[in-house]
Amino acid sequence: MGSNGGQDLQVLIERFEQGHATAAARLITILENGGEPAESVMDRIFPKARGAYRIGFTGPPGAGKSSLVLHISQLLRRRDVQIGVIAVDPTSPFSGGALLGDRIRMQRLTGDPGVFVRSLASRGSLGGISNCTDEVADLLDAFGKEMILIETVGVGQSELEIAETTHTVVVILVPESGDGIQAMKAGLMEIGDVFVMNKADHPDSELAAKEIEDTLRLKNVPDGAWIPPVVLTSALEGRGIKELAESIEKHHRYLEEEDRLVEKRRRILRSRVRSAFMDRMERKIWDDPSVREILSERIGDVYEGRLSPYRLVQELEKRVKIE
Ligand SMILES: Nc1nc2c(ncn2[C@@H]2O[C@H](COP(=O)(O)OP(=O)(O)O)[C@@H](O)[C@H]2O)c(=O)[nH]1
Ligand SMILES: [Mg+2]
C-alpha cells in the first residue's frame, strides 16, 4: 500500500463488505504480511466475525486430508452452507496437482461463489498451521462464511495448535504405515474429536479403525464427556463421507449443549490473546537496547564459564522495563 494506505484500506473494506471475493483475497494478503496494516484490517473485520463454526483436519501427509475436505465441502454446499476453506499446505489439491477426481471437485468448488478457498504458507517447514490462520478464519467469518474448514500440513508438533484454533478437530489416519502408533506419539489421540480411518478401500482398514477405537476406549474419560467416534472413509470411492459429516455435526451439537461451545470459544480467544501478547512482549524485550548490550557484554563470561546462563538471565531480567 502506498502513502494513501488508509484510504486504500477503506476502499478495500467497503468492497469486502459488498461481498467481492477479490477484496477478501487482498485483505488476506495484508493479514499474511502482518504488522500494523494487518492490525488495522483486524480492527475492521473482527467485530463482523459472528461465530462461524471452525473445523480442523489434521493427520500425517498423504492421509487424505485435502481429498476429504473437498468431499465435505461438496456435501456442505449441497446443503447451501456458505463455506471457507483454509489449506495450510502447498502440496494440496487446492494448488492443483492431485488426482483427476480431486481436480474436478476442486474446479466445481472454486467456481462456486458460496466457497472461498485460500492456501496459506506454513511458518517454517515444521509449521502445522500458519501464524495468521486465526485471522484469515476471522476474515472469512466476517465475509459471511458459516463453516470454515482448515487443513493442516501434517508434520511436526505444531499440528497440535489446530486444537487451539478450531471447534471440532478431525484426525485423519490411514491403515498403512502404522499411523495409529505415530498418532499416539504425536499427541494426535489427545486432540481428535472425530477420528477417520481413510483409504478404507485398502485391506486392513477395519482392523486399523478398531485399534484406534480400542486405544480411545482405554483412556479415562469423565462422565458425560465426548467419546470420539472412528469413521471409516474412502475419499477415492466417496464412501463414509456422510457418516463423517454426521459425526462432525454430532460433536457440534454436543458442544452447543450446556454452553460448551461458548466456553470453548472463550478459551480459544483467551489463548489467542495470550500468545499474541507473549509474541509482542518477546519482541519488545529482545529488541531492548540495554538487553542487547548486556547480552553481548556478558556472553563471553558465560562462554568462559565464569557465569552460568541462568545468572545472565537474572541480570537481563533486572534490566527489562515494560511500559
Ligand atoms: N486409495 C485411496 N487413495 C486416497 C484416498 N484418499 C486420498 N487418496 C489419495 O492419497 C493421496 C494423498 O491425498 P491428499 O488428500 O492429498 O492427502 P493429504 O496430504 O492428507 O492432504 C492422493 O493421491 C489421493 O488421491 C482413499 O480413500 N483411498
Ligand atoms: Mg493436503
Choose between 50 and 269: higher pLDDT: 269
With CA atoms as reference, report the closest residue to 155 among 179, 197, 119, 127.
Answer: 127
Among the bound ligands, name the one nearest to the CA of residue 172.
Answer: 1
- Placement of cell 465435505 in the chain: 72
58 lines ligand 1 (CB under 6 A): no
Q: Are strands 147-151 and 230-232 parallel, antiparallel or unpaired?
A: unpaired
What distance in angstroms lies between residue 153's CA and the mean position of ligand 2's atoms?
Answer: 7
Closest CA to 201 of 115, 88, 101: 101
Of the chain, the end-to-end C-alpha distance in Å amounts to 31
SS3 184: helix
- Give the residue with greater pLDDT, 187 vs 65: 65
Q: Give the Å distance between the CA of 74 and the centre of ligand 1.
A: 16
Q: Are 141 and 50 in contact (CB under 8 A)?
A: yes
Is any atom of ligand 1 closer than 6 Å to the C-beta of 221?
A: no
**Single pTM value for the model:** 0.88
Mean pLDDT, range 11-24, rounded to an integer: 96
Contact 95, 118 (CB under 8 A): no
The vertex-31 CA angle with 23 and 285, nearest 5°, equals 160
Percentage of the chain modeled with pLDDT above 70: 85
293-302 confidence digits (pLDDT tens): 999 999 999 9
Average per-residue pLDDT for the chain: 87
Strand 83-87 with 194-197, pairing? unpaired
Atom of ligand 1 nearest to the CA of 151: 21
Q: Closest ligand to 102 CA?
A: 1
Look up cell 486405544; give the residue.
Answer: 215
- The mean pLDDT value for 88-107 works out to 58
Q: What is the pLDDT of residue 219?
A: 77
Q: How confident is the model at residue 259 (pLDDT cuts 50, 70, 90)?
A: very high
Is residue 221 very low, low, confident or very high in pLDDT (cuts 50, 70, 90)? confident
The rounded distance, in Å, linking the Cα atoms of 123 and 133 is 11
Protein residue closest via CA to atom 26 of ligand 1? 199
- Report phi then psi at 235, rounded to 5: -65, -30
Atom 25 in ligand 1: residue holding the nearest Cα: 99
Average pLDDT over residues 278-282: 89
pLDDT average, residue stretch 241-269: 96
* Residue-wise pLDDT tens digits, 158-179: 567 888 899 999 999 998 756 5
45, 142, 147, 180, 256 from 138: Cα distances, Å:
7, 6, 11, 33, 20
Residue 208 reports pLDDT greater than 60:
yes
Residue 236 CB less than 6 A away from ligand 1: yes
For the segment 84-105, the average pLDDT, to the nearest whole number, is: 63
Residue 117 CB-density burial (10 A; 0-12 exposed, 13-18 middle, 19+ buried): buried
Tell me the pLDDT tens digit for each residue of 181-195: 666 666 788 899 999
Q: How far apart (Å, rounded) are the C-alpha atoms in residues 64 and 54?
A: 19
What pLDDT, on a 0 to 100 scale, did the predictor assign at position 108? 73
pLDDT of residue 98: 47
Give the CA dihedral 208, 106, 22, 150, nearest 10 degrees.
Answer: 0
**pLDDT (average), residues 124-152:** 84
Tell me the pLDDT band of 131, cut-offs 50, 70 and 90: confident
The predicted pLDDT at position 89 comes to 61
pLDDT tier, 122 (very low <50, low <70, confident <90, very high otherwise): low
**In this predicted structure, what is the pLDDT of residue 100?**
56
Give the phi and the psi of residue 182 in degrees, each rounded to 5: -55, -45
Residues 80-104 have a mean pLDDT of: 68
| Domains of the chain, earliest start first | 1-47 (no CATH), 49-258 (3.40.50.300), 273-319 (no CATH)
Report how far residue 178's alpha carbon sits from residue 171's, in angstroms, rounded to the nearest whole number.
Answer: 15
Does pLDDT of 85 surpass 70?
Answer: yes
> Quick one: which ligand is closest to 154's CA?
1
Supply the pLDDT for residue 153.
77
251 lines ligand 1 (CB under 6 A): no
